[in-house]
Amino acid sequence: MILAAAMLLISSCASLSPNGVGRVKRYTFTDESVPEGLDGCKIAFISDLHYPSLFTPKRLGKLVRKLQQESPDMLLLGGDYVTDKDSIDVLFKSLSAVGCREKYVVLGNHDMRDEQLIRQAVDKYGFYLLDGKARCVEFLDGGGGYAVAGVYDSFANDTLFEEYMESVDDFEFVLFVSHNPDFVERHSITAHLAFAGHTHGGQVSLFGIYTPVKNTRYGKRFLRGRNRTSNGTTIITTNGVGTSRRKLRFCVPSELVIVTLRRQ
């Protein structure tokens, strides 16, 4: 009973936060490949909202306000958005208020049952769905450009890897979003910086030492945080925002990821 009460208390900590999530996790990515036009670019990344689950409407409002305060240049969404189809429109309408110039979306495994409705909401509220091919942006001064790419339902669409590789050949800097970090390692994805979710950071961990459920075939390697794949791609795996299966977190806070790009 004591342990159960403690887990419930810790899982509720985000409700006390003015940000709607347990923490804001910040990274700086510094590399010579970052184009001058992206130097200082701020990227916000969230995944696995499972709205509303433990991520209630009140927390959604707080998160949107925090995102507005951060004023990111780019918003990336990593999949697994809702627990029921009636929440789709509310969620994407709320997130569209963030107001950044670029908003990208990939779908997760839980999104397949409502795929068409989510696609409609994505289009309605001005998000761009990454489904294998890259969204490529060239700078007006002719100084190259960058590509943002991703895969939807990375369990079922491994063939999208070939389309992705063909679409980013000519770009000096590539961002990649996958719902599942395993996809990035399994296919030796060529990107400078990759983002992933799905694992929830384990959602429950015994003080960071033991995590019963990892949702990745690579153990702790890509479970959470900033890591490198076998071919040297930097990958950031978020703990996610909401909860799946059990509505609790223990020693694995929900999080908003903020990444600032810097040219070396």
Residue 244 near residue 80 (C-beta atoms within 8 A) = yes
- Angle at 220 (CA atoms; ends 218, 225), nearest 5 degrees: 115
**Bridge partners for 31 per DSSP:** 263
Say yes or no to pLDDT of 181 above 80.
Answer: yes
Domains held by the chain: number? 1
Tokens of 4: 């159960």
The pLDDT assigned to 5 comes to 41
Nearest CA-CA partner of 237 in 252, 218, 257, 251: 257
β-sheet bridge partners, residue 29: 261
Which range marks the domain in which residue 45 is found?
Answer: 2-263
pLDDT digits (tens, 9 = 90+) for 192-202: 999 999 887 75
Those residues with Cβ within 8 angstroms of residue 89's Cβ, 6 or more apart along the chain or in another chain: 121, 124
Q: Across residues 199-228, what is the average pLDDT?
A: 76
Residue 15 scores a pLDDT above 60: no
**CATH number for position 201:** 3.60.21.10
Q: Are 79 and 112 in contact (CB under 8 A)?
A: no
Instruction: Provide the whole-model pTM.
Output: 0.90
- Identify the bridge partners of residue 238 per DSSP, sorted by sequence position: none
Q: What is the mean pLDDT of the chain?
A: 85
> Which residues, in sequence order, are bridge partners of residue 237?
196, 225
What is the C-alpha separation between 96 and 81, in angstroms, rounded?
A: 14
pLDDT, tens digit (0-9, with 9 covering 90-100), for 78-111? 999 999 999 999 999 999 999 898 999 999 999 9
Question: Which pLDDT tens digit goes with each residue over 42-87?
Answer: 999 999 999 998 899 999 999 999 999 999 999 999 999 999 999 9
The per-residue DSSP string of 167-205 comes to HSTT-SEEEEEESSHHHHHHTT---SEEEE-SSGGGSB-
